[in-house]
Amino acid sequence: MRKKIYLMGVFLVIAVAISMILVNIYTRQPTPSLKQRIVVYAYNDKITGIDPSIEDDTGLVVLGSIYETLTYYDYKTGAVKPRLAINWSVDSGGKEWMFQLRRGVKFHDGTPFNATAVKISIERARDIYRETGRGMGYIWDAVEEIEIIDEYTIKFILKYPQRLDLLASGSYAAYIFSPSVIEKANVTSYMDEKLEDWFNSGNAIGTGPYKLISYDPTREIRLEKYDEWWGWKEINNPNAPDIVIIKIVTEPVAQYNGLLSGEIDIASSIPRENVRMLLEKGFKAINLPTYHNFILFFNTKRYPTNIREFRLAIAHALDISRVIRDALLGYGKPASGIIPHEFPGHVEGLTYEYDLAEARNYLNASGVKLPVTINLLYQVDYEETRKFAEIFKSMMAELGIIVELNPQDWARLKDIAKGVWTSPEETPHLVVADWWPTIPSPYDYLYTMLHSDSKEWNFAGFENKAFDELIDSAWILEGEDYAKAMELYEQAQRLVHEDAVVIGLWDEVRPFVYSSRINMPEDALNPLYMFVIRFELVEVRL
């Protein structure tokens, strides 16, 4: 028997040794057939759909490489730049827009790009929204008629003045798809519901620098360089990736491991505490200041958060710089109001100074007897909101306010939070939610989160006619007098600030960490097109 044990032991040692050698040989040998420039980009969520007219969530990360918009928003200068449209003009006080389209552009299936494609793409997004409320087609609400002047000229007639050049750069509902989809999908009209299924089952025909070659929304999406893209001659990047794999890696730790193993080239969600370690190992990072911000909503319909002084007490007891240091490890910028820094309409100074004495004064003035218990609803999916909740609880304890924590995933959080309109007494006193925009307009943030008609997203239950009128007027004025519109947006924000209905917490700074075999310029990222990487600008060493 002893002999057997001995033999077994020897066998085991040999087996382990062989497997280790195998692993070593295998992992060290260069893969000879890797002649193509392949980039694996780890994205942190599964894809919710790729219908260019309807998709309004994570599909953006795919759509942004396959499709193009008429214009492009340059977040650094705030300028609108040509893309599929080369120039444009506006008339009749912002109600008539004429776009000259780029010539010689072809869709991925060879169909020529022209005014018809623009008309059907925008009409589809708009009409689906009008009929069903789905997607982001509301950005085209003002568009009454689209007139094809000639193959490369298109005219938009609006119901009310709008900055159509800005809207046309939107990150959703502004993508131009090929008119040939109707034939390929075997449907009778662009409004046919089967067309949505066709897109979502992995079909896409855009004009962008990359075309879709395989689609598994839960695992990975493969894109291939589109050699006939019009922009290659302008960019002149012979080292752009031939193949892009967008790999769904939901766990930040798994993204970190993937980078280390060489499996992933670009990671979008690395645990913040590991970024420095990666940089020390030779990885590179772009810290992108984003338009993704976090907001604290007060339930204005429930005691005691319905008392302005009580809300101000909380606002002054909240030390945002500590939150950014401890919860975000520096990857955030203290917010000023609910419109992020550098975004149109952002106003400086809409903050509450951390001052416990001031907080106590407001608390006394509120008439709320201590101890008082309030509850905080927050999203469990974000590590930073989890940490924030703990820190917030300890900060409020200093004031004598007891905070009960209510962590939920996004679907449940939204369902509970919107209860402020129907059952405010059962809805938590405080909600932490996040937002990123569709179009570069303050209306995107202000309407959605604070307008009294926005009952799905206004988690404060805030109703203020003056505020509504200000932002509605500003929205229409954007097309006529942009500067005046910005003034109105500012007034509206000051009104909210004085009332302390919401507190802007922080604007996210997101580190995109990438391998040293990649060269990624800062321009490859744009906070309006969150998580989209302009792979055409990325250089890959073989």
Partner 1 sequence: MPVSLNYIFKRIILSILVILGVIVFSYLLLMLSPGDPAVKWAGNPRGPGATKAIELAREELGLNKPLYMQIVNFIYNFLTGNLGLSIAYKIPVSQVIVSGFAATLELMLFTYFFSVPLGIWLGIYSAINRGSRIDSFIQSISIILASTPTFWLGSLLLLASNSLTGFFPYGRVSSKLALSTGFTPITGFYLLDSLIQGNIQVFIDVLVRLIPPALTISVYPIGVLARVTRTLVAEALLEDYVRAAVAWGIKRKTIIRQFVLRSIVPPVIQISGLSFVYSLVDAMVVETVVFGREGLGSILIDSLHKADFRVTLALAVYLTAFYIIVNTLVDIVQATIDPRIRL
Residues 364-403 that bind partner 1 (CB under 8 A): 381
Of 201 and 239, nearer to partner 1 (C-beta) is 201
**Cα 407 to Cα 250: distance, rounded to the nearest angstrom:** 19
Q: To the nearest whole angstrom, how small is the minimum distance from the Cβ of residue 267 to partner 1?
A: 12
* 67-75, 174-182, 258-266, 284-292 -> range binding partner 1 (CB under 8 A): 258-266
Q: To the nearest whole angstrom, how small is the minimum distance from the Cβ of residue 329 to partner 1?
A: 21
> What number of other Cβ atoms are within 10 A of residue 145's Cβ?
12
* 95-103, 244-252, 319-327, 389-397 -> range binding partner 1 (CB under 8 A): 244-252
Of 211 and 497, nearer to partner 1 (C-beta) is 211
Binding to partner 1, residues 431-470 (CB under 8 A)? 438, 447-448, 453-457
Question: In angstroms, what CA-CA distances link 430 with 30, 54, 304, 366, 425?
Answer: 54, 31, 11, 17, 12
Check residue 257 for interaction with partner 1 (CB under 8 A): yes
**Cα 474 to Cα 98: distance, rounded to the nearest angstrom:** 23
Binding to partner 1, residues 402-431 (CB under 8 A)? 408-412, 414-416
Under a CB-based contact definition with an 8 Å cutoff, are residues 437 and 430 in contact?
A: no
How would DSSP label each residue in 339-350?
A: SPTTSTT--TT-
Among 74, 127, 192, 263, binds partner 1 (CB under 8 A): 263
Binding to partner 1, residues 497-536 (CB under 8 A)? none
Check residue 47 for interaction with partner 1 (CB under 8 A): yes
* 114-122, 252-260, 266-274, 462-470 -> range binding partner 1 (CB under 8 A): 252-260
Of 40 and 363, nearer to partner 1 (C-beta) is 40
- Terminus-to-terminus CA distance in the chain, angstroms? 56
Of 395 and 538, nearer to partner 1 (C-beta) is 538
Of 56 and 355, nearer to partner 1 (C-beta) is 56
Check residue 273 for interaction with partner 1 (CB under 8 A): no
> What number of other Cβ atoms are within 10 A of residue 303's Cβ?
14
Binding to partner 1, residues 85-144 (CB under 8 A)? 129-130, 132-136, 138, 141
Check residue 48 for interaction with partner 1 (CB under 8 A): yes
Of 141 and 463, nearer to partner 1 (C-beta) is 141
Binding to partner 1, residues 172-201 (CB under 8 A)? 196-197, 200-201
Structure-block tokens of residue 521: 């310029």
Binding to partner 1, residues 295-314 (CB under 8 A)? none
How would DSSP label each residue in 124-185?
A: HHHHHHHHH--TTGGGGTTEEEEEEEETTEEEEEESS---HHHHTT-SSS-----TTHHHHT
Q: What 3 state SS string does 494-525 have? A: HHHHHHCCEEEEEEEEEEEEECCCEECCHHHE
Asked whether the CA dihedral 244, 250, 255, 261 is positive or negative, the reply is: negative
Check residue 282 for interaction with partner 1 (CB under 8 A): no
Q: Is 535 exposed, middle or buried (0-12, 13-18, 19+ CB in 10 A)?
A: buried
Question: If we measure between CA atoms, which residue out of 409, 378, 414 comes closest to residue 393?
Answer: 378
Of 239 and 410, nearer to partner 1 (C-beta) is 410
Under a CB-based contact definition with an 8 Å cutoff, are residues 198 and 184 in contact?
A: yes
Binding to partner 1, residues 313-372 (CB under 8 A)? none
Of 87 and 239, nearer to partner 1 (C-beta) is 239
Q: To the nearest whole angstrom, how small is the minimum distance from the Cβ of residue 462 to partner 1?
A: 16
E strands in 151-283: 153-158, 210-216, 220-225, 243-248, 266-267
Q: To the nearest whole angstrom, how small is the minimum distance from the Cβ of residue 104 to partner 1?
A: 31
In the block, residue with structure tokens 């007034």: 491
Binding to partner 1, residues 206-235 (CB under 8 A)? 216-220, 222
Size of the site for partner 1 (CB under 8 A): 74
**Residue 3-42 contact track with partner 1, rule CB under 8 A, x = bound:** ----------------xx-xxx-xxx--x-xx-x-x-x--
Among 95, 108, 225, 247, binds partner 1 (CB under 8 A): 247
Structure-block tokens of residue 227: 């050699």
